[in-house]
Chain A
Amino acid sequence: MTDGIEAITQTSLSLALDAATLRHQVIANNIANSSAEGFIPMQVKFSAQMEEARRQLSEGRRLEQGHLAAMAESSTSLEPAPLAPGLTQQVRLDSEVAQMAQNAVHYQALLKGLSRHMGILSLAVADGKR
């Protein structure tokens, strides 16, 4: 409850929501340009610092201020999607739609988590009364 842990959780959740929104836009763009000749599908860049944040969390420690900068960076930058072996670089509608379904579920999970988190905080603020 100390060390501003709630603030970090809240910021990381909202940054993750930003990233999910950007990913949705990128997938929508890929689908819209699926029949365009020479279009290269894009994806949201996943930075190495995010991997570091993941590792730290799985070791039982919590996120720190420095990881939030990495999350903010990864929720704004794009890169071309990696080339699958033996396949040509083109938009595959079904995999894009699959990614979109996954992203939608992830967005809803983040949103639910954030609203539950806010619910606990508002419980504390309202002194136990609803």
Chain B
Amino acid sequence: MKYLDEFNDPVVARQLFAEIERITTRPWAIMEVCGGQTHSIIRNGIDQLLPENIELIHGPGCPVCVTPVGMIDKALDIASQPGVIFCSFGDMLRVPGTSRDLFHVKSEGGDVRVVYSPLDAVKLAEDHPDRQVVFFAIGFETTAPANAMAVHQARQRGLTNFSVLVSHVLVPPAIEAIAGSPATRVDGFLAAGHVCSVMGTWQYGPLVERHRVPIVVTGFEPLDVLDGIRRVIAQLESGTAALENAYARVVTDAGNVAAQQMVDDVFEVCDRRWRGIGEIPLSGWRLSARYGDFDAETRFDVGAIDSSESALCRSGEVLQGLIKPHECAAFGVECTPRRPLGATMVSGEGACAAYHQYRGLDVIRPTAVSGPRGDDD
């Protein structure tokens, strides 16, 4: 609890806002990479209180948002098969595939279960030897160690009815793609603190060197985010580009070495398609050959599925920081958390959902406000 109150202190926040105001002389665009940071910024209204010439660009760091639609369709296909218990983190259940979502599969009789840890899925496999238990292993470097551990334990226990549908993504190649794009408007990055707690900071130095861009490893509470923003601006204003760690209470340079070893054992780096962005080279993890037996894609033969995105959805541009969520014509009209067209409208960490849930009064649209009312409680 100490860490919740301490990093929400409004008095210290005001000092940080004042400091940011004082040092800012020019317009700067800063991308917070992680969806957790986006959520914190919008929920607390940090973006409303920054100087007008500081723009926050919401990055692609929501694993639910960037999982490609083809992979969602594979999940839906597997989850619909008889005898399967399909396990997923809760957010994934509402992510639209080409024509439906996992909630839909569940309401049609599919055995779809929300788990809070991949190890719970391993236990389900042990408890139901007559069923095929599949875990949807998505996420960035943060969720990878636990997912790797689940596969590792399943093998140790000799489970032949457990498999994983893997769609892991990696942060540094995404920063590389954004910083190296000719269209980029990003002057500096807030790197994702929890990713760095696993992987350390050593992967980010070369990105700073190559693109001459400040990268500050940043946490998630309001004061963490403000301190990260302040440090990026200070660098930009002084013309320097360095790697800084503003989340030292959690992140070390080396990261969690045991977790990295577990991940290296179970996964290997691969090219990965990101929903809304496209393929980024060497930006994902898939099961290594040693653990190929646990690959749900081969076990269930889901190779040829015809996938397509909503024609209205502009989540790709949102994920790349090219537009803000409410600048999309479908925002709050055809696309709401109730009927999301794109994954960015689903997860609490998705930029569109964060805008819709916590939007300031200035972005209200009349059609998005008046909902049905009434309750039978």
The answer to whether A and B belong to the same complex is: no
